[in-house]
Amino acid sequence: MRAIIFLAIVGVAFGNLCQGVDKNDINAAFATARVGSLAIFGKSCPGFDFDTVAFSDECRSLVRQATCYGLNAASHYDSDVVSYKQLAVDVPNMEKLGNLACEQARGCFLQVSAAMEACEAENVDFVQDTIDAAEIAYKDRFEDKVAKFAKASKGSLLGDLASMAIDRFSSADDIQDFIEEHLTKGVKSDASAAAEEAQALAKGWCDDGCTSDTASFLRGIFRHMNNRKCDDASEFCGECQSRAASYFARNQLPCCIEKVVRRGIVAYDYVIANYSDALESYGAAVKGGLSVSGLAEAEAIRDRVVEEFSCVSEVYSANRPECV
């Protein structure tokens, strides 16, 4: 979990993402969260107060603003095709939330962590009791829906994957057994190192003010790319690639982004070098469980992703910034 926590505290300005959001929608989202919290922690930690943990002190602003961003995004991207113009319009909101996370996420994480430690002190079986409660909540509220989706979507990639998950994992114990089976000493060591690396990258990102630098770059390139021949953000090859390349020719990629990209490439190469056999084994197992039509859909998606990534990589490689 620590791998996704921003650790730096920086002085930044951020706007109000809740401006214009219906208060009834916000309250409804919070009410749903309270119900879920009671279902999960009601018995394992009777003293857990969701409002105190999530809506006060270090977490109050971050949780509220993140909720509002989610509600806004659901409406903003509610279309069959997401355009680069829509992305450009949303960049300032992403910037506000990113800067807020840089400022407050660590404090909020520590607040939540302290609440969990208090629960463990109150109940020695807290973790197992919470897992059991989560399993009951899933079975009561979602299991039938997932089963119906899998049946109705039989023959599609998502339907096949849902059916495979239902067959493989019938309880929380099944999931735990699967994790323990594959969580070797080497995997744990690599995961720990990756978490530390992610923390360092996140800290550097926030310290360097990279959220705003990135937002400025993305807003510019998205605006430049959007036109009648490049109006689908899920497509990059072709006209969109040409427009992106012309923007890169005049605007350098921020070095703080380049740093993250290079570290990501190093991490990818390490995973391929050390876990390729395991990944191939997992891939073969999944492939064996797919229907003919589900496999065809998966292969089509793979081919599309490989093609699009190749076009992105071509533009990036030709325009790498000179950074110290």
Residue-range domain boundaries for the chain: 2-318
Mean pLDDT of 218-245: 94
Task: Look at residue 81 in the predicted model and tell me its pLDDT.
Answer: 93
pLDDT tens for residues 173-197?
898 888 888 888 888 899 999 999 9
Q: Is the pLDDT of residue 97 over 50?
A: yes
Instruction: Tell me what the pLDDT averaged over the chain comes to.
Output: 91
pLDDT tens for residues 300-317?
999 999 999 999 999 999
| Size of the chain in residues | 324
User: Token pair of 112, please?
Assistant: 């939540």
Q: Is the pLDDT of residue 171 over 80?
A: yes
Q: Is the pLDDT of residue 2 over 60?
A: no
Instruction: Tell me how far the alpha carbon of residue 179 is from its chain's centroid.
Output: 20
pLDDT tens for residues 238-265?
999 999 999 999 999 999 999 999 999 9
- Name the percent of the chain lying above pLDDT 90: 84
What number of other Cβ atoms are within 10 A of residue 10's Cβ?
A: 14
pLDDT tens for residues 29-71?
999 999 999 999 999 999 999 999 999 999 999 999 999 999 9
The residue among 171, 151, 173 whose CA lies nearest residue 162 is 151
Q: Is the pLDDT of residue 226 over 90?
A: yes
In Å, what is the CA distance from 51 to each residue of 17, 63, 112, 132, 278?
20, 11, 11, 23, 43
CA distance 157 to 159: 5
Mean pLDDT of 128-148: 94
Question: What is the helix (H) or strand (E) element at residue 145, kind and residue range?
Answer: helix 143-152
In Å, what is the CA distance from 238 to each residue of 87, 256, 291?
19, 28, 32
pLDDT tens for residues 267-298?
999 999 999 998 899 899 999 999 999 999 99
Q: Is the pLDDT of residue 10 over 70?
A: no
pLDDT band at 15 (very low <50, low <70, confident <90, very high): low
Q: Is the pLDDT of residue 12 over 50?
A: no
User: Token pair of 141, please?
Assistant: 């509220």
The pTM of this model reads 0.85
